[in-house]
């Protein structure tokens, strides 16, 4: 009964390809499942934020976010670039990479554990047992957190996006339920709430990782001999960006206090969730770019990006008008964060240009990628250092916007310089 409608829809997609210049069937099929996955991540994160914002005091919420920032920083040592290397290498036929990638990330993660224990010792000496216990939890989680998520990139590269969506959704449900239950019982202990948040990701992902290995990796499958070295390059290239993404939170914590960090976190929640959702397009592009002639990609990429930018801009305008009503309904304690959130929504515009970075990554334009990974976050750190102390949260907001402008300018500059 639905077959005629399905046929018409497919015909419409094929017709639209003349104007978009894109494989719309792949985008809808893959994008639909990735949309499910990203929707699960965004929705669960949003619900968790809403619950914690209403259960925890701003001070305890700020402490919890400080611990998350600390975890993110030490996770740099767990070779997170291996996930991108998996996604880029697997479409080229290297299907034996997953087990190697898991082992490498777990081993490097032990270094992060050592650093976490040192930080925990520092906070014990400072008589701050809450943060000390939080970093002990982080030390146990670091080796397996990144290693256990690599299979998602592997499945995406194999275009098994349905599996990616289902496994991601299941994991996020576990994290959400476990964290909310613990927060209800221990709203004054940020380090205790951190346990289900981290291990609610680790335990399901370990199960799905080994399931993926059994189903898709075979003895004798080719292994990319340079994947670990390339993963190290990617990790090094992205490390400063990760540091920049967390240092503003550290600066807000130290210069203004835990309560201010809670307000900054709430203000950035919706813009960040939308930015993460927009990662679907560059994620899908990895598998396609790995199969196509780079010269063909270059000819069609920029017009597609401009159309994508217009769609995002419309969403930004709508959010600016709707933000006060959204906060009144969901975050009534944080109405003062509305102006910050409205301005931070402008950062989603920069997501339209991320497929250019995917294109450069496919070309293995290492020098350009290093520059992209160093200059924008370095500027963000500098602006944060200069502006957060005198201007508070507005200083952190400015650092995000300036970083986005510089990164986008560099992306366009490097793209226009690639061979035609």
Are 208 and 340 a contacting pair, CB within 8 Å?
no
| Residue of 122 and 284 predicted with greater confidence | 122
Per-residue model confidence as pLDDT tens digits over 306-328: 888 898 999 999 999 999 999 99
The answer to whether residue 2 scores a pLDDT higher than 50 is no
What is the arithmetic mean of pLDDT over 265-275?
A: 90
pLDDT for the residue 290 = 45
State the Cα–Cα distance between residues 213 and 158, nearest whole angstrom: 13
pLDDT for the residue 244 = 87
pTM of the model: 0.79
> Which ranges of 278-392 would DSSP assign to H, the alpha helix?
280-289, 294-330, 338-344, 354-362, 366-391
State the Cα–Cα distance between residues 298 and 288, nearest whole angstrom: 13
What is the arithmetic mean of pLDDT over 342-356?
A: 91
Structure-token pair, residue 401: 């916007």
Per-residue model confidence as pLDDT tens digits over 143-200: 999 899 988 888 888 878 788 888 988 999 999 999 999 999 999 999 999 999 999 9
């Amino acid at each position: 009964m639905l077959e005629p409608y399905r046929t018409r829809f497919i015909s419409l997609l094929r017709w639209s390809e003349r104007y978009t210049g894109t494989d719309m069937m792949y985008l809808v099929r893959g994008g639909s499942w990735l949309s499910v996955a990203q929707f699960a991540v965004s929705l669960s994160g949003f619900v968790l934020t809403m619950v914690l914002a209403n259960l925890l005091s701003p001070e305890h919420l700020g402490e919890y976010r400080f611990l998350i920032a600390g975890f993110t920083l030490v996770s740099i040592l767990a070779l997170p670039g291996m996930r991108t290397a998996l996604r880029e290498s697997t479409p080229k036929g290297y299907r034996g990479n997953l087990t190697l990638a898991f082992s490498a990330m777990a081993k490097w993660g032990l270094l992060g554990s050592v650093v976490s224990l040192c930080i925990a010792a520092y906070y014990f000496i400072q008589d701050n047992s809450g943060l000390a216990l939080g970093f002990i939890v982080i030390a146990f989680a670091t080796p397996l957190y990144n290693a256990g998520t690599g299979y998602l990139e592997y499945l995406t590269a194999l275009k098994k996006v349905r599996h990616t969506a289902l496994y991601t959704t299941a994991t996020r449900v576990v994290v959400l339920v476990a964290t909310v239950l613990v927060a209800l019982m221990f709203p004054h202990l940020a380090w205790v709430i951190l346990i289900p948040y981290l291990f609610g990701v680790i335990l399901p992902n370990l199960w799905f990782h080994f399931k993926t290995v059994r189903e898709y990796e075979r003895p004798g499958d080719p292994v990319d001999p340079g994947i670990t070295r390339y993963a190290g390059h990617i990790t090094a290239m992205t490390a400063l960006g990760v540091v920049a993404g967390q240092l503003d939170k550290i600066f807000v914590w130290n210069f203004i206090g835990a309560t201010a960090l809670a307000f900054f976190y709430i203000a950035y929640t919706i813009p960040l969730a939308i930015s993460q959702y927009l990662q679907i397009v560059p994620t899908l592009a990895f598998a396609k770019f790995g199969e196509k002639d780079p010269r063909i990609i270059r000819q069609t990429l920029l017009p597609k990006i401009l159309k994508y930018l217009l769609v995002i801009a419309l969403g930004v305008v709508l959010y600016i008008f709707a933000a006060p009503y959204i906060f009144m309904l969901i975050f009534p304690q944080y109405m003062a964060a509305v102006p910050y959130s409205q301005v931070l929504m402008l950062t989603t515009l920069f997501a339209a240009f991320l497929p250019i970075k995917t294109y450069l990554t496919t070309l293995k334009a290492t020098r350009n990628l290093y520059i992209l990974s160093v200059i924008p976050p370095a500027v963000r750190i500098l602006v944060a250092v200069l502006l957060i102390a005198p201007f508070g949260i507005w200083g952190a907001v400015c650092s995000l916007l300036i970083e986005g402008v510089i990164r986008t300018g560099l992306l366009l500059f490097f793209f226009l310089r690639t061979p035609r």
